[in-house]
Amino acid sequence: MESSNNLKDNTLISIVVPCYNEEKALTPFYKELVRNIDNIKYCNFQVIFIDDGSSDKTLEIAMDICNKDKRFKYISFSRNFGKEAAMLAGLKASEGKYTVVMDCDLQDPPSLLKEMIETMDLGWSSVATRRCTRAGEPIIRSFFARKFYKIINKISKVDIVDGARDFRMMSREMVDAIISLNEYNRFTKGIFGWVGFDTKWIEYENIERVDGETKWSFFGLLLYGIEGIVAFTTAPLRLASLIGMITSFISFIYIVYTFIKTLVLGIDVPGYASLISFIMFLGGIQLIALGIIGEYISKTYMEVKKRPHFIIKETNL
C-alpha cells in the first residue's frame, strides 16, 4: 500500500455530521474526533454539524464548539426534516477533496478516518463501513434488518450491503453525483449504490452509542425500509399484478367447479360459509394491492410538489 503522504499537504477533508437531539453525545464526539484528526498532519479538516431541528441544546453546544474551533461549522434547520435531508445539506455544503458522512453518537469510530484517507489515496472513489456483528442490538430488530437486506437485494438492481453504515468517505466526483439526484424521497443507502463508483469496504464490530438513546424506533425503521423498497424497485407492483392473476385463475377454476357441482347435485346451501371466506380473501388481496399502488402514488405526489428538502434557519458557513 502506498503511503497517504502522497496526498498534497493541506488537502481538505470535509466531515458531515447530522445531529438531532444529541446534546449528550456532541461533546464526547467532539473530543474524540479532534483527538483523531489532530494526528493526521497532512490534511486540513472542515467539520459541518447539521442540526436537524433539535429540541434540546444540540444547536447551542454545536455553536459553542464552532466558536472555539474554527474548523467546525454548523447549519441549523427551521424544523426536523430527517436525517436524509441533513446528509444532503451537509454534502452540498462540503468543500473538501474527500467528504465523510458520520454520526455523532460514536457508533461511527473517528479512529477509522486515517485508514479511510489512506485507502482513498490508493485510487478508490469511496470507502464505506459495515458492521460485521449486531451485538447489543435487539434480536427482533436484527432479524428484520437482515431480512430487509436480503429482500431488497433480490428485487432491486442496487447492491445494498447488509450492515452498511452511512459512515463513508467519498471523492468529490461521487459527492457531486449524489447531489445531482434531486428526488425528494431519498434513501441514501440505495443512492450510494446507484451512482456506482468503486467502493472499498471496511468492517468493524458494532459499537454502542456513547450516550442517550437511538432516535430510530422499530416502526420508524420499518417505514424507512418501505421507503427504500419503493425508491429503488417496482417489484411490489409486479407482485400485486401477479397475485391478482393467480387469484383470478383460482377463482375461475372455483366458478367452473361450483357450476358443475350445482348442475349435478343441485344448490348446496352449506357452501355459503366457504363462499363468504373466499370473498373476504379476495377483498384482502385487493386492499393489499391498492395499498401498494397508493404507496407509489404518494411518493409521486410528493415529488411533483417540488418542495425543498430542507429550510436553513441559520448557519455560520
Sign of CA dihedral 134, 37, 32, 313: negative
Q: Average pLDDT over the chain, rounded to whole?
A: 79
Out of 45-49, 135-139, 272-276, the most confident range is 45-49
% of the chain at pLDDT higher than 90: 31
Out of 196-200, 205-209, 271-275, 280-284, the most confident range is 196-200
125-134, 153-162, 209-218, 246-255: the lowest-pLDDT one:
209-218
The mean pLDDT of 221-227, rounded to a whole number, is 62
The yes-or-no verdict on residue 146 having pLDDT over 90 is no
* R_g of the chain, CA atoms, integer Å: 25
Return d(Cα 57, Cα 19) in angstroms, integer: 11
The yes-or-no verdict on residue 64 having pLDDT over 70 is yes
Q: How confident is the model at residue 202 (pLDDT cuts 50, 70, 90)?
A: confident
The yes-or-no verdict on residue 99 having pLDDT over 90 is yes
The yes-or-no verdict on residue 250 having pLDDT over 50 is yes
Q: What is the pTM of this model?
A: 0.72
Residue 153's contacts (CB-CB under 8 Å, 6 or more residues apart) are 159, 160
The yes-or-no verdict on residue 195 having pLDDT over 60 is yes
Helix, strand, coil content of the chain in percent (nearest 5): 50, 15, 30
Out of 101-110, 233-242, 291-300, the most confident range is 101-110
* Phi and psi angles of residue 218, each rounded to the nearest 5 degrees, phi first: -60, -45
The yes-or-no verdict on residue 309 having pLDDT over 70 is yes
The yes-or-no verdict on residue 175 having pLDDT over 60 is yes
Cell reading at 115: 485508514
Nearest to 237 by CA among 311, 187, 289, 181: 289
The mean pLDDT of 133-139, rounded to a whole number, is 60
DSSP state of 38: T
Nearest to 4 by CA among 149, 99, 100, 114: 114
- Amino acid 265 reads L
Q: How confident is the model at residue 106 (pLDDT cuts 50, 70, 90)?
A: confident
pLDDT of residue 4: 43
- More confident site: 294 or 58: 58
pLDDT of residue 79: 92
Q: How confident is the model at residue 30 (pLDDT cuts 50, 70, 90)?
A: very high
Cell reading at 230: 419503493
Q: How confident is the model at residue 5 (pLDDT cuts 50, 70, 90)?
A: very low
Q: How confident is the model at residue 3 (pLDDT cuts 50, 70, 90)?
A: very low
Residue with cell 410538489: 305
pLDDT of residue 29: 92
Return d(Cα 252, Cα 117) in angstroms, integer: 63
The mean pLDDT of 216-230, rounded to a whole number, is 61
Return d(Cα 145, Cα 142) in angstroms, integer: 5
pLDDT of residue 47: 95
